[in-house]
């Protein structure tokens, strides 16, 4: 059981009022395990549908990847829908394509309709480091436009200067349906909305045991919940609970730093239109300007989810390569967090028995897809499961080498693709 890590997000959000521990035995229609975006979206959509919901979190709301990520609203999935069609059939690709922008719209509705204040800024960009990646962005634009996103614009190196002032990139693609947020503020706003709708939230209440059957009984150290349905939303922080869900995925760490306050003038010199940016490398960098005018910069992957000793040493060279004018800039915050990687790079949705649902393994595209997942599981529990099953019917592939060898095998593969990025092949 832990409080928030020392990050820019915990520094700049109001985390002063925790939710209580579970110290009683209660009944509910649905028990949600996990207070990240998957669990919050699930509880929120279920509460809006009129079901009684209890959410339990082992630490604090947004403690894991939800409260530590880059804060970018990036549409679609970690594998695009044409790849889904090629590997799993046109029907599967079409089903996922119909939902590829919905997660972002759910977030915008929370901001614009439900009035959650989370420092939202519209607009993002993918940037290419070589000609091969630029051709991939051209294909990306055509594919997304086919599925309804007409808010995209290609830029060559000269026009990209209006988006980002860096010589590192040969071009890019802007997306008006993308944007950036303060993810911990969004999570805390969603939690508040859940309670306003009658849902109950308990922090510092780790699940110690789950009894399955017609009714699930979820045990915590000081209380338990009897529920008709259970939603497992622990993702990379699931730990020992439900071990059957950890066999075909691997926690991976990503590192983020945030600079000292730069001021409006310097920020506009770096990213003139305040887009969030991510490059097209296999091991990608991502960055944006915060609401109080800092540069937030993330990148790199540590397979297995361990915490590196010196995060700044890992990220600073990337930051200074992108923005040489920031060489030696003071770093105020540096942290790491885990996301869950699958072999297919597609999320794993499914059921254990008839009344336990799970969603996990967003492979780096979690901000939008988690919000979609919560809506789909609420539909499934209410009896409309076709959209949930578009995901659950995708194969859950075992990682090469089993648990013992998955880290070195995955790292070896990543090194190969990283070399291809550097060589432009």
pLDDT digits (tens, 9 = 90+) for 303-356: 555 567 789 999 999 999 999 999 999 999 999 988 888 888 999 999 999 999
Tell me if 298 sits within 8 A of 315, measured CB to CB: yes
Give the integer Cα–Cα distance in Å for 163 and 43. 37
pLDDT at 81 exceeding the cut of 70: yes
Beta bridge partners, 287, equal: 277, 297
DSSP 324: G
Per-residue model confidence (pLDDT) at position 231: 98
Q: Which helix (H) or strand (E) holds 41?
A: helix 37-48
Q: Is the pLDDT of residue 403 over 70?
A: no
Cα–Cα distance measured from residue 409 to residue 405, given in angstroms and rounded to the nearest whole number: 6
Residue 9 pLDDT grade (very low, low, confident, very high; cuts 50, 70, 90): very high
pLDDT above 90 as % of the chain: 81
Q: What is the pLDDT of residue 248?
A: 75
Per-residue pLDDT tens for 40-67? 999 999 999 999 999 999 999 999 999 9
Degrees to nearest 5, angle at CA 161 with 159 and 166? 135
pLDDT at 107 (0 to 100)? 98
> For 215-220, what is the mean pLDDT?
97
The dihedral built from the CA positions of residue 305, 308, 314 and 319, taken in this order, carries a sign that is: positive
Helix intervals (H) in 49-120: 81-88, 90-97, 102-112
Mean of per-residue pLDDT scores for the chain: 91
pLDDT number for residue 419: 36
Beta carbons of 335 and 256 less than 8 angstroms apart: yes
Spatial contact of 38 and 370, defined as CB atoms under 8 Å apart: yes
Q: Domains plus CATH for the chain? A: 1-119+181-247+342-394 (3.50.50.60), 121-180+250-340 (3.30.9.10)
**pLDDT tier for residue 270 given thresholds of 50, 70 and 90:** very high
């Amino acid at each position: 059981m832990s409080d928030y890590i020392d990050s820019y997000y915990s520094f700049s959000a109001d985390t002063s009022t925790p939710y209580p521990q579970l110290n009683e035995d209660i009944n509910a229609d649905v028990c949600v395990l996990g207070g990240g975006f998957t669990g919050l979206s699930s509880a929120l959509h279920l509460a809006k549908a009129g079901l009684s919901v209890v959410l339990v979190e082992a630490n604090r709301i947004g403690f894991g990847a939800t409260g530590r990520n880059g804060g970018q609203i990036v549409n679609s999935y970690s594998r695009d829908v044409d790849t889904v069609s090629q590997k799993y059939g046109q029907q599967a690709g079409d089903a996922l394509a119909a939902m590829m922008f919905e997660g972002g719209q759910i977030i915008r509705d929370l901001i614009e309709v439900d009035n959650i204040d989370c420092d939202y800024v519209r607009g993002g960009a993918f940037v290419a480091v070589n000609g091969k990646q630029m051709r991939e962005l051209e294909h990306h634009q055509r594919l997304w436009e086919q599925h309804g996103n007409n808010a995209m614009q290609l830029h060559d190196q000269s026009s990209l200067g209006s988006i980002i002032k860096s010589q590192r990139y040969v071009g890019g693609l802007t997306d008006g349906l993308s944007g950036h947020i303060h993810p911990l503020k969004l999570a805390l706003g969603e939690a508040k909305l859940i309670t306003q709708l009658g849902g109950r939230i308990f922090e510092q209440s780790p699940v110690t045991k789950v009894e399955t059957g017609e009714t699930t009984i979820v045990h915590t150290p000081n209380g338990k919940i009897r529920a008709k349905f259970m939603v497992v939303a622990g993702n990379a922080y699931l730990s020992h609970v439900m071990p059957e869900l950890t066999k075909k995925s691997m926690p991976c760490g990503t590192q983020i730093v945030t600079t000292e306050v730069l001021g409006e003038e310097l920020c506009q010199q770096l990213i003139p239109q305040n887009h969030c940016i991510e490059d097209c490398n296999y091991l990608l960098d991502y960055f944006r300007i915060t609401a109080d005018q800092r540069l937030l910069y993330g990148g790199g992957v540590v397979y297995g989810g361990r915490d590196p000793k010196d995060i700044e040493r890992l990220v600073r060279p990337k930051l200074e390569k992108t923005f040489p004018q920031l060489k030696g800039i003071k770093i105020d915050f540096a942290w790491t967090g885990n996301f869950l990687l699958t072999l297919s790079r597609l999320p794993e949705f499914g059921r254990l028995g008839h009344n336990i649902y799970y969603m996990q393994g967003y492979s780096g595209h979690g901000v939008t897809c988690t919000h979609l997942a919560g809506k789909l599981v609420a539909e499934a529990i209410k009896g409309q499961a076709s959209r949930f099953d578009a995901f659950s019917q995708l194969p859950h592939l075992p990682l090469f080498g089993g648990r013992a060898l998955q880290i070195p095998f995955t790292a070896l593969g990543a090194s190969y693709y990283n070399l291809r990025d550097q060589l432009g092949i």
